[in-house]
Amino acid sequence: MLIYKSAYYSILLFSFLLISNSSYSTDIYKWTDKDGTVHFGDRPEQQQNSATLYKVPKNNSSNVSSSNKERAQKQKKLLDSFAADRRAKKELQSKKNKQAKIRKYNCKVSKDKLIRYQNASRIYVRNELGEKVFLDDEQRLKETNLLKQQSEKWCK
């Protein structure tokens, strides 16, 4: 939250500087002195022959209001994009948290089942008819190895 707040203040400061800078307009003059040296300045030299090199237009109220509208639109667009970025980051974090909870739960379940298989004297599974079918040593070893793999997968 602090990062977004500082970014917001930076944008406001930048906008203020743009607005305040646009009110200062001036002309740029070029002249040559007696020695033949070329000079540039914001005021023409009184004694020398000077030419206007660049004329910065004064802001009219219509230009200012239209540029303010454009600036406000650009600022709104920028703030909207920041809000969209925040929403996307929040959704991504929420998704990561949900996946972490699922991983943690699956890890616990697979470890518990592995411990039960390792400590049990006999293991059975139910078939389609609901009858108990006891596993022989080879099947039991196969199931235990499968549970170890699942446990390693979920508990990384």
Specify which residues 52 forms β-bridges with.
Answer: 29
* pTM (2 d.p.): 0.47
126, amino acid identity: R
In tens digits, what is the pLDDT along the chain, a chain of 156 residues? 556 667 777 776 666 666 655 455 567 777 777 887 877 777 777 665 666 655 655 555 555 567 888 888 988 888 888 888 899 999 999 999 999 999 999 999 999 999 998 998 898 889 999 999 998 989 999 999 999 999 999 998
Q: Are 59 and 47 in contact (CB under 8 A)?
A: no
SS3 assignment, position 30: strand
Residue 120 placed within a domain: yes
Residue 126 placed within a domain: yes
Residue 93 placed within a domain: yes
136 CB-near residues (< 8 Å, 6+ apart): none
Residue 45 placed within a domain: no
Q: Are 114 and 144 in contact (CB under 8 A)?
A: yes
Domain span holding position 131? 2-23+59-154
Residue 41 placed within a domain: no
